[in-house]
Amino acid sequence: MRILQLHSNFIEYEPIKKEATIAEECDKKKRRLDELVVLFTCVEQGDNEIVAKRAVEEVKSSLQKLKVNRILIYPYAHLSKNLANPRTALGIVKAMEKYAEEIGIETYRTPFGWCKQFSISIKGHPLAEQGKVIVAGDLKEEKKKSWKTPKPEYLVFTKDGKTVLAKNYDFGKDEENFKALVEKEAFKKESVGGEPRFISALKKFGFEWESSSDSGHMRYGPKAALMVDLAGDYAWQSVNEIGIPSFSIKGTNLFNLNVPAIREHADLFGERLYTVQVDNEEFVLKYAACFQQFSMIKDWTISYRQIPLGMFEIADSYRLEQSGECLVGFRLRRFYMPDYHIFCKDLEHAKDVSISVHQKIYQKIRELGNDYVSVYNLTKSFFEKNQDFLRRLVEIEEKPVLLRFVPEKKYYWVINVEYNIIDELKRPREIATFQIDIGNARRFGIEFVDKNREKVHPPILHIAVLGGIERYIFTVFDTALKREIPRLPLWLSPVQVRVIPVSDSFAEEAEKLADEIEGHQVRVDVDDRPITMQKKVREAEMEWINYIVVIGQKEVDSGTLPVRDRETGKIRNMSRRELMDDVKKKMEDKPFRSLTLPRLLSQRPQF
């Protein structure tokens, strides 16, 4: 930051014309201030709120020497070529203004983003004109030194509605997973290290880092891409099962931070923003579907008769996680978020809908053969007024939950539930979430007309029923690896059936069988490579193929197929009809997509 500090007899200024899209509203009147210090202030790239504080502290020292306590902060871009973007600059001059007022300086500020006409009279003494350069420091370290954040308070909320301090809770024998969560969240106990097996399993299916991109960016081979698409289809199916009329949308992933609602929401999100500079404007890559959905629905005309309604988008999402914390398939800088929002009538209605959401989230994790342990982030006032609601949530969980109390009015939500699995290394991993949001409808201008023809800002539920797509798939693999024989859910397996001819002479019969199987909406391939049948079977097992079918003369003559069923670990003799019926039963109502590979293995390169 660069400041030209002028001890002045007076300054007169008048806003003439806006010169930035972020320009503040003002009345364009001429103003005069007498006996003051004028601070022509230029905010540069890399400046932050600590710079603002340091600048005011240096100015205060000068004011004491000059025996004056009145300042005018005058944003002035002409002192540097290394300018911060307008949004950042405005935030920093506002921070200067706020801090100066807090320490007792009579403070004024000219409107940001305007061409202004001014006249100034400077006092004629050696200290009347001074230049200052304020250098940015380590924002995180300064915050640690300057502000003491109160430690959050943790309680355990039991199945019978009692509360116990986390440090005093006596864990039962069947609460090892909940204990792991409490130790991490409340006691900050470090998790056990080690290389999780899911990383090599994911790689087997084509989930891996993209070395030509930024840290935390993945690429998806044919099998992985199919699984991502199927999980997205299932996320849409799952939100519709809640029973709310819903709309699936798509849109951009780039939003202008000069739009006040976007800026405010981004500021609440914090430091993990991916930003892009375009034509001296700063844009943020969306970190969930909020921006697009809220920007769209604010332009809709909605009646109370149409509430509740839901909006869904698989958002191409970006979060600037620390590179050292990125973990393939789990903690990513770029990922797919199947984000669902439900717009409700009022808070009581939002709580009622939340029960159905909570049930659905637990249904989906238990369907995989896994379960969650949960953290409820909430304020004490919400807890005290809504214990019956919380008990209803805990009844669905069938286990205690951890309550984390947060400061009143700090967040836009009143409750934020984090659903964690405990992975094979006994580490909590947050997967799904939901929030009751009471702030963003007003911020984004979202409203509906009630039966009294009054405009109402609806509470909004933020929901990820499955969690992020990659995290859901991570959960699937973590669950699979805990079984004696690892396997994927049939509907999510890239190849569900593999047909293996006993020799080249039965390749044609194998393809006919594959045609028949594929006709029943089953993903099937044929291993026609010139290698032994035993090696083909072994490789199919290593690929976790759900059904392996060998066909030779005996099978052609009898019409009975020896089927290696990965779920049972046994060979079952089945007719073609029995095989198809078994597959259909296990698929139930799950989504289906066709194979994303050539059917013949001989046509595939090595991945």
**At 293, which helix (H) or strand (E)?**
helix 290-297
- Check whether residue 466 and residue 571 sit in a common domain: no
**At 225, which helix (H) or strand (E)?**
helix 222-240
- Check whether residue 174 and residue 91 sit in a common domain: no
Q: What is the DSSP secondary-structure string of 517-536?
A: HHTTS--EEE---SS-HHHH
Helices (DSSP H) in 73-221: which residue ranges? 86-102, 139-146, 176-185, 198-204
Average pLDDT of 580-593?
92
Say if 272 falls within a structural domain. no
- Check whether residue 340 and residue 421 sit in a common domain: yes
403: confidence class by pLDDT, cuts 50, 70, 90 = very high
- What is the reported pLDDT for 50? 84
- What is the reported pLDDT for 140? 44
Does the structure show a pLDDT above 70 at 401?
A: yes
- Check whether residue 345 and residue 474 sit in a common domain: yes
Average pLDDT of 349-360?
97
Percent of all residues in the chain with a pLDDT value above 90, rounded to a whole number:
80
Q: How many CB atoms lie within 10 A of CB 234?
A: 21
Total length of the chain: 607
Say if 416 falls within a structural domain. yes
Does the structure show a pLDDT above 70 at 139?
A: no
- What is the reported pLDDT for 142? 44
Place of tokens 């044919």: 222
Average pLDDT of 209-221?
95
Expressed in percent and rounded to 5, the helix, strand and coil fractions of the chain are: 35, 30, 35
- What's the number of domains the chain is made of? 3
- What is the reported pLDDT for 20? 80
Say if 304 falls within a structural domain. yes
Residue 185 near residue 375 (C-beta atoms within 8 A):
yes
- What is the reported pLDDT for 19? 85
- Check whether residue 141 and residue 157 sit in a common domain: no
- What is the reported pLDDT for 193? 66
Does the structure show a pLDDT above 60 at 606?
A: yes
Does the structure show a pLDDT above 60 at 195?
A: yes
Residue 70 near residue 9 (C-beta atoms within 8 A):
no
- What is the reported pLDDT for 147? 41
E strands present in 177-252: 207-209, 218-220, 246-248
342: confidence class by pLDDT, cuts 50, 70, 90 = very high
Task: Tokens for 1, please give them.
Answer: 């930051």
Does the structure show a pLDDT above 60 at 149?
A: no
Residues 6+ apart with CB under 8 A from 328: 199, 202, 203, 207, 208, 209, 218
- Check whether residue 93 and residue 187 sit in a common domain: no
Domain end, chosen from 454, 481, 508, is at: 481
Q: What is the DSSP secondary-structure string of 244-279?
A: --EEE----SEEETTSHHHHHHHHHH-S---EEEET
Return the exposure string of 2-40: e unless at least 16 CB atoms fall within 10 Å of the residue's CB, then b: bbbbbbbeebebebeeeebebbbeeeeeeeebeebbbbb
- What is the reported pLDDT for 41? 96
- Check whether residue 509 and residue 450 sit in a common domain: no
Say if 582 falls within a structural domain. yes
pLDDT higher at 206 or 559? 206
Predicted confidence (pLDDT) per residue in 540-554, tens digit: 999 999 999 999 999
pLDDT higher at 278 or 493? 493
Task: Tokens for 486, please give them.
Answer: 């690892």
Average pLDDT of 86-113?
92
- Check whether residue 499 and residue 553 sit in a common domain: yes
- Check whether residue 411 and residue 530 sit in a common domain: no
590: confidence class by pLDDT, cuts 50, 70, 90 = very high
- Check whether residue 135 and residue 176 sit in a common domain: no
- What is the reported pLDDT for 136? 62
Does the structure show a pLDDT above 80 at 179?
A: yes
- What is the reported pLDDT for 295? 95
The three state secondary structure string of 11-57 is EEEEEEEECCCCCCCCCCCCEEEEEEEEEEEECECCCCHHHHHHHHH
Domain end, chosen from 146, 167, 202, is at: 146
- What is the reported pLDDT for 441? 95
Does the structure show a pLDDT above 80 at 386?
A: yes
Say if 263 falls within a structural domain. no
Task: Tokens for 15, please give them.
Answer: 């806003």
Does the structure show a pLDDT above 70 at 148?
A: no
Average pLDDT of 206-229?
96
Say how far apart CA 62 and CA 69 lie, in whole Å: 10
Q: How many CB atoms lie within 10 A of CB 349?
A: 15
Listed residue (128, 151, 174) closest to 399, CA to CA: 174
Mapping DSSP to helix (H, G, I), strand (E, B) and coil, where does residue 557 land?
helix
Say if 390 falls within a structural domain. yes
Range of lowest pLDDT (117-126, 194-203, 372-381): 194-203
- Check whether residue 206 and residue 237 sit in a common domain: yes
Instruction: Give me the CATH number covering residue 535.
Output: 3.40.50.800
- What is the reported pLDDT for 281? 82
Residue 235 near residue 228 (C-beta atoms within 8 A):
no
377: confidence class by pLDDT, cuts 50, 70, 90 = very high
Predicted confidence (pLDDT) per residue in 6-49, tens digit: 999 999 999 999 888 788 989 889 999 999 999 999 999 888 88
Predicted confidence (pLDDT) per residue in 251-309, tens digit: 999 999 888 889 888 887 876 888 888 887 889 999 999 999 999 999 999 999 999 99
- Check whether residue 328 and residue 472 sit in a common domain: yes
Listed residue (7, 9, 65) closest to 39, CA to CA: 7
Bridge-based pairing state of the strands 524-526 and 497-501: parallel
Distance of CA 99 to CAs 54, 267, 388, 593, Å?
Answer: 10, 18, 43, 58
**At 538, which helix (H) or strand (E)?**
helix 533-542
Does the structure show a pLDDT above 60 at 137?
A: no
- What is the reported pLDDT for 448? 95
Domain extent for 575: 490-603
Question: What single-letter DSSP state applies at residue 371?
Answer: -
Domain end, chosen from 434, 463, 481, is at: 481
Predicted confidence (pLDDT) per residue in 428-475, tens digit: 999 999 999 999 999 999 999 999 999 999 999 999 999 999 999 999
Amino acid present at 294: F
- What is the reported pLDDT for 150? 60
Percent of all residues in the chain with a pLDDT value above 70, rounded to a whole number:
97
Residue 399 near residue 180 (C-beta atoms within 8 A):
no
Residue 10 near residue 121 (C-beta atoms within 8 A):
yes
- What is the reported pLDDT for 365? 97
Say if 411 falls within a structural domain. yes
pLDDT higher at 425 or 494? 494
